[in-house]
Amino acid sequence: MSTQPKSAPTYVWEPTTDFLASKYGLPRDSIVRFDVNTSPTPPNLRDVLAGSFDPALCEYPPSDYAALVAAAAQAYGVGADELLPTAGADEALDLIARATLREGSVAVVATPTYAMYRIVSEQRGAKVVEVPRLGPEEGFRLDIATLAMAARAAQIVWLCEPNNPTGVLEPPERIGELLAVLESDARREGRETPTVAVDEAYTEFVGRSVLPLRYDYPKLVVVRTLSKAHALAGARVGFAVARPETLAPVTSFRAPASVGTVSAALATAALLRPELAAGNVARIAEQRTRLLRDLTEFGWRPYPSQVNFILIRFSSQSAAAAAAEALLRVGLVPRTFGPGHPFADCLRLTVRSAQENDRLIEAARGIPA
Ligand SMILES: Cc1ncc(COP(=O)(O)O)c(C=O)c1O
């Protein structure tokens, strides 16, 4: 019998910038990442930190991350006791899965969506039940009735709002409706309500949140990040946000000081300057309108988007693969969806700066849809 540990399901990225530069014989700095939904304008570090930075790198960060937590409490409108700083949203997702799931548990995922909900659930030995969203003609909305049915046997329901990769938001009232049904079903059947995790990685682009629902549904955990609208993906800072009694078990799984001192200082400064993220959101909205218009003009079929990425449907899986290859050859990296994925005939493209989007439009002009 093999003594090798079984490898766990894991996240798969598009190839790295160095790999692609070498494969396509392109200068490294000509490669533009349209695949990872980051914002193209990082905050000016000197400006953001503005004299308030005392890194003390020989020491650990304070165990309560008091300054970071205070800044996030103010930015998100929640109590300091409702916030757990994490190394990006991804660490929050992992900790929520650890706190909620064990071998044989059931996790419900509204699909297609961000791959990590399935991954962190399966890593805990849980069975994943997928509940497909409604089709594009119905705006990729949640199938509330089927979700509620599946949730009756589940320990957790994972939602992404606005959803990656469909790029649209379920109105928070509809999430409220779902939570009310989960609550009444559980009460009637005399069992605990499932945890509902809502990943709001892109919330700043829509300016709406389910956070107010945490009073009605105490097992709601919201996940936030500095990686998207705040343009700090490299810093790796996110949060789990929940009522203190829901947050406590999640907190207990985090390794001590998983958010580094430099990252915590950057995120604190960025959260105290909301106009920086607001500027990114405004610039991206302008570029999104222009990308949607221009791509549509030469026959591409983008779906509507409220966020910093656009999902585009091609005539077939091979047309999507050919478009991806044509973009890669000129150093533009799209997000692809593997064979078997419901969006295997789609590409997802991040909305980037005006100049970077110029390159995308120029390249896309000659690529059949
Ligand atoms: C929905 C969603 N959640 C979480 C993440 C990861 O965020 P972070 O960089 O904060 O780990 C991403 C990144 O693409 C995402 O799309």
What CATH number is given to the structural domain containing 337? 3.90.1150.10
> What's the domain range around 335?
17-43+275-365
Give the pLDDT of residue 61: 94
* 313 and 195 in a common domain: no
Question: Which atom in ligand 1 lies closest to the alpha carbon of residue 163?
Answer: 1
Indicate if ligand 1 lies below 6 Å from the C-beta of 200: no
Does residue 176 lie in a domain region?
yes
* 91 and 75 in a common domain: yes
Indicate if ligand 1 lies below 6 Å from the C-beta of 167: no
CA of 220 to the centre of ligand 1 (A): 18
Q: Which of 216, 238, 273 is the last residue of a domain?
A: 273
- For 206, the token pair is 């829509």
Does residue 349 lie in a domain region?
yes
C-beta separation of 335 from 35 below 8 A = yes
Give the pLDDT of residue 3: 62
| Structural domain count of the chain | 2
CA of 201 to the centre of ligand 1 (A): 6
Indicate if ligand 1 lies below 6 Å from the C-beta of 201: yes
* 305 and 252 in a common domain: no
Does residue 25 lie in a domain region?
yes
- Residue with token string 């999902």: 311
* 348 and 294 in a common domain: yes
Nearest CA to ligand 1 atom 3: 201
C-beta separation of 288 from 308 below 8 A = yes
Give the pLDDT of residue 196: 98
CA of 24 to the centre of ligand 1 (A): 28
Give the pLDDT of residue 116: 98
How far, rounded to the nearest angstrom, does the alpha carbon of residue 16 sit from its chain's CA centroid? 19
Does residue 3 lie in a domain region?
no
* 355 and 267 in a common domain: no
As a whole number of angstroms, the distance between CA 135 and CA 185 comes to: 26
Q: Which of 273, 302, 336 is the last residue of a domain?
A: 273
Give the pLDDT of residue 44: 80
The mean pLDDT values, 10 residues at a time, for the chain of 369 residues are: 72 97 98 96 75 77 96 98 98 98 98 98 98 97 98 98 97 95 97 98 98 98 98 98 98 97 93 95 98 95 98 98 98 95 97 98 95
- Residue with token string 């650890």: 98
* 318 and 252 in a common domain: no
Give the pLDDT of residue 43: 82
Q: Which of 273, 303, 337 is the last residue of a domain?
A: 273
Helix, strand, or coil (residue 109): strand
Q: Estimate the crossing angle of helix 274-297 against helix 354-365, to 10 degrees.
A: 20
- Residue with token string 């439009």: 361
Give the pLDDT of residue 298: 86
* 123 and 161 in a common domain: yes
* 262 and 166 in a common domain: yes
Does residue 7 lie in a domain region?
no
* 268 and 307 in a common domain: no
* 121 and 72 in a common domain: yes
Q: 37 to each of 82, 161, 201, 227, 249, how far by Cα in Å?
A: 27, 15, 10, 9, 30
Give the pLDDT of residue 52: 63
Give the pLDDT of residue 6: 74
Which of 156, 217, 154, 214 has its CA nearest to residue 181?
217
Which of 348, 363, 367 has its CA nearest to residue 33?
348
